Copies of this chain bind each other. A is one copy, B any other.
Amino acid sequence: MKVGVIGGTGFVGGELLRLLLQHPKIEVVFATSRQHSGEPIQRTHPNLRGFTDLQFTEQNPANVGKVCDLVFTAVPHGTAVELVTDLVKTGVRIIDMSADFRLQNPQDYSKWYGYEHDRPDLISKFTYGVPELHRSEIKSSNYVSCPGCMAVTSILALAPIIRSGLIDLERIVVDAKIGSSGAGVEPSAANHHAERYGVVRPYKPVGHRHTAEIEQELAKISGKNVKVAMSAHGVNMVRGILVTCHTFLKREIVISDIWKSYRASYQDEPFVRLVRDKRGLYRFPDPKILVGSNFCDIGFDHDTHTNRLVILAAIDNLMKGAAGSAIQCMNLMFGFPETEALMTAGIHPV
C-alpha cells in the first residue's frame, strides 16, 4: 500500500517514517518538507541511513490522491484544517497528527487553542484515534485524528476508573512529566540543551490544551461532565511521558476490585500492559523502559491515608503518543493485523 507523509521533518514525521519504512505492507511514496525539500531524508533522520534513498519534496496536496492510498499529515496546529480540506477533495484517506480534528465541539478550539475552527463539518468526519476506545469506528473510518500525547496517556489511565464510578469527578489531578521531544523540533531558547538539561520545568501548570481531549473522552465514558486539573512538566529526557493521576475515591474500596476493572478494560488490548509487581525497580510504570515501543503501561497504588487512588501511566510519546498510535490506526483502517510493525519491546537500558 502506498502512503505519503506531509510534514516529514519533525520528530513525529521522523518516527512515522521509521515505522513505515520497516512496515512489510507499506511503500512510502513521498515525504514533504518545506525547509528540507530536495534533501535526503536520511540527513534529517540519520537513523534511517540505509533504509531509504528518498528525498523530501514540496507539498502538492492536489496530487496526493493519485499517488497514495493514505496520507499522514504532521503539520502545526491550526494549519491542518486548510490542508485537510484540500486533501479530502482528492479522495485520499487521512490520519492527522495535529489537534485540528480532535475536539468534537468546534467551540473548544476558541477556548483551548485560541482560533476559530471554520470547518466543523470536517471535524465530524474524523474519528478520535484511540483504538482502546474506538476500535470499530476506526476500522471503518477514512479520517482519523491522532490523540495528543498526554491526552492518550491520561485517557487510558483514567477510563476504567471513570467507568467504575468510584471517584470524585471534580477532583481529578493529572500531573504530567514529559521529555523534550514533546515540544517539537523547532529550536528555541526553551529547548536549548543548556537550558533544558536537568530541568523540572512546570511549563504549563494550568490550562494545558490536552485537558479538552481528556475531558471529552472521559465524559463520553462517564455520561457526566468530568473536570480534569492538569499540570505539565518538562523533565530531563528526550522521549517519554509519565502521568500521575491523583483521584479521590468516594467510598472505601477493595484494591483487587480495581485491578479487576482494569483487567476487564484492557485484557485483550495488545498495547496496554498492566504493571503490578511487588518487587523490582519497575513495579510502577516508567517511560524509561518503553523507548521505541508502542505500549501504554498502567499501574496504581492506593493511599489509605487520604483514600486516594494514584493511577500511573507511561508511554513513549513519539510512539503510543503519536506515530505508534497512528500506525495502529492505519493497521485497523486497512485491515492489516493491528500489531503489524509495532509489536517490539522497548530498548532497555537506554
Q: Which residues of A contact B (CB under 8 A)?
A: 11, 14, 18, 21-22, 39, 43-51, 170-171, 173, 175, 177, 179-181, 185, 187-203, 205-207, 211, 227-229, 231, 233, 235-240, 242, 244, 246, 248, 273, 275, 277, 279-282, 284-293, 295, 297, 300-306, 308, 310, 312, 314, 344-350
Question: Which of B196, B206, B228, B345 contacts A21 (CB under 8 A)?
Answer: B345
Given contact pairs A200-B240, A200-B286, A238-B350, enumerate 19 new A-B contacts (beta carbons under 8 Å): A11-B194, A43-B280, A47-B290, A47-B345, A49-B273, A171-B171, A173-B308, A189-B281, A194-B238, A197-B349, A199-B237, A199-B287, A201-B288, A202-B242, A202-B244, A202-B286, A205-B284, A229-B248, A347-B347
- In the complex, residue of chain B having the shortest beta-carbon distance to the beta carbon of A277: B43
Instruction: Choose from B11, B185, B314 the contact partner of A200 (Cβ within 8 Å).
Output: B314
Q: Is the CB of B191 within 8 A of A192?
A: yes
Point out the residues of chain B lying under 8 angstroms from A39, CB to CB: 279
Q: Are A43 and B290 in contact (CB under 8 A)?
A: no
Contact in complex: B200, A288 (CB < 8 Å): yes
Contact B198 A288 (CB under 8 A): yes
Partner of A191, one of B11, B193, B199, B200: B193
Report yes or no: A349 in contact with B238, Cβ–Cβ below 8 A: yes
| Contact indicator A175/B281 (Cβ below 8 Å) | no
Could you say which residues of chain B place their CB within 8 Å of the CB of A248? 171, 229
Query: Is B242's CB under 8 angstroms from A284's CB?
Result: no
Kindly state the separation between the CA atoms of A350 and B194 in the bound complex, as whole angstroms. Answer: 7
Contact call A284/B231, Cβ cutoff below 8 A: no
For A301, give the chain B residue with the smallest CB separation: B205
Residue in B189, B200, B206 whose beta carbon sits within 8 Å of that of A310 in the complex: B206
Most central of A177, A281, A288, A350 by chain B CB within 10 Å? A350
* A306 with B229, Cβ < 8 A, contacts A180-B197, A289-B46 known: yes
**In the complex, how many angstroms separate the beta carbon of A24 from the nearest chain B beta carbon?**
12
Contacts of A196 in B (CB 8 A): 193
Select A286's contact among B21, B48, B199, B279, beta carbons within 8 Å.
B199
A285→B202 contact, CB < 8 A: yes
Q: Closest CB-CB distance, A51 to chain B, in whole Å?
A: 5
Q: Decide if A18 touches B345 in the complex (CB within 8 Å).
A: yes
Q: Given B198, B211, B312, which contacts A202 in the complex, CB threshold below 8 Å?
A: B312
- Which of A47, A180, A282, A291 neighbours the largest number of chain B CB atoms within 10 Å of its CB? A47
List of B residues within 8 angstroms of A175 by Cβ: 173, 175, 231, 244, 246
7 A/B residue pairs, CB under 8 Å, sorted by A = A18-B345, A200-B237, A202-B244, A203-B284, A206-B302, A239-B350, A292-B347
